[in-house]
Amino acid sequence: MEGRASGGPERLQKILSRAGIASRRGAEAMIQAGRVTVDGQVVTELGTKVDPAEARIAVDGKAIEGPERQVYFLLNKPKGYLSTARDDRGRKTVLDLFSEVRERIYPVGRLDYDTEGLLLLTNDGALMNGLLHPRYEVEKTYVAKVQGPVDEGRLEQMRKGLALEDGMTAPAKVKLLGREGHDTHRVEVRIHEGRNRQVRRMFAAIGCEVLALRRVRFAFLDLHDVRTGAYRALTKEEIQRLYAIAGGQQNERNGR
């Protein structure tokens, strides 16, 4: 990382996040997994401070060369793709859909393998952290095709919060959209939490099975004119709006 003016030592996970390698939490996981080296030596201790202007930092053997151009994409994820940067079992990931993008991008949160719809990807660690932080309660909207006894009483349980194995859910906004067949319904669910397979588990808790699930909105963003498997770049205005709802870190960091 030669040629950069030294700002002094910084926490290693912060350097990786700023360089677009991963979110701060993702960078911490990389360090703990032994994937990060400093001057050829593996570093696994969180909080290690390094001067990015002097040290040679690498992830999986590939040197990082300072901050990449920050990019922001909205993907209409198909079923059958993992929302991860890589998979040790060789399964398809959402990054396989971005073969023309040179920057190292990462999903903002996850959609299940069998879930389709709106997924953001970026190399802006500050924005990623803000959008995923529970403090900001960024709302996600799903449409589920559900089989089972859907009625207002059961939907009201979801609106009040359900007891799952990992604790009570926050109240959801739930609306019955229509019936498809004898015991199959379409239901809109809006939540701001991001637990693993949360929507599916919420319906299971009221005795229903999710047959298909699609995320149709993330905050104010929707899938308008983005076909399944395709993506588009976010506009400057959309990025600014996302920062406004996620703590405004970019304004502080870049002086905008």
The residue with greater pLDDT, 3 or 11, is: 11
Q: State the pLDDT at residue 18.
A: 78
**pLDDT value at 35 more than 60:** yes
Residue 51: per-residue pLDDT: 85
64: CB partners within 8 A, 6+ apart: 1, 15, 16, 19, 21, 57, 58
Domain with CATH 3.30.70.580 in the chain: 72-134+220-254
87 is catalytic: no
Q: How confident is the model at residue 100 (pLDDT cuts 50, 70, 90)?
A: very high
Contact partners, residue 163, CB within 8 Å, separation at least 6: 205
> Mean pLDDT of all residues in the chain?
89
**46 contacts 72 by C-beta, under 8 angstroms:** no
Q: Quick one: which H or E segment has residue 26? A: helix 24-32
Give the pLDDT confidence score for residue 125 in this predicted structure. 86
Of the ranges 17-26, 188-197, 211-220, which one carries the lowest mean pLDDT score?
17-26
Q: For residues 31 and 102, which has the higher predicted lDDT (pLDDT)?
A: 31
Q: Which residues contact 249 (CB under 8 A, 6 or more apart)?
A: 126, 127, 129, 130, 243
- The dotted CATH code for 139-218 is 3.30.70.1560
Percentage of residues of the chain with pLDDT beyond 70? 93
Q: Compute the distance between CA of residue 167 and CA of residue 170 in angstroms, rounded to an integer.
A: 10
pLDDT of 199 over the 60 cut? yes
Please check the confidence at residue 256 and state whether its pLDDT lies above 80.
no
Could you give the CA distance from residue 249 to residue 129 in angstroms, rounded to a whole number? Answer: 10
Neighbouring CB atoms inside 10 A of 176's CB total 14
Q: Are 208 and 147 in contact (CB under 8 A)?
A: yes
Class of domain 72-134+220-254: alpha beta
Assess whether pLDDT exceeds 80 at residue 251: no
For residue 19, what pLDDT is reported? 79
Give residue 200's pLDDT.
97
The mean pLDDT value for 10-30 works out to 86
Of the listed ranges 36-40, 237-241, 248-252, the one predicted with least confidence:
248-252
Among the options 112, 124, 183, 225, which is catalytic?
Answer: 112
The pLDDT of residue 66 is 62
pLDDT band at 144 (very low <50, low <70, confident <90, very high): very high
Residue range(s) in the chain whose domain bears CATH number 3.10.290.10: 10-63
For the chain, give every residue range classified as CATH 3.30.70.1560. 139-218
pTM attached to this predicted model: 0.74
Q: Where does 10-63 sit in CATH, by number?
A: 3.10.290.10
For residue 31, give the amino acid letter.
Answer: I
Contacts of residue 50, defined as CB under 8 A and 6 or more positions apart, other chains included, come to 9, 10, 12, 15, 38, 57
Which range has the worst mean pLDDT, 29-43, 49-63, 139-153? 49-63
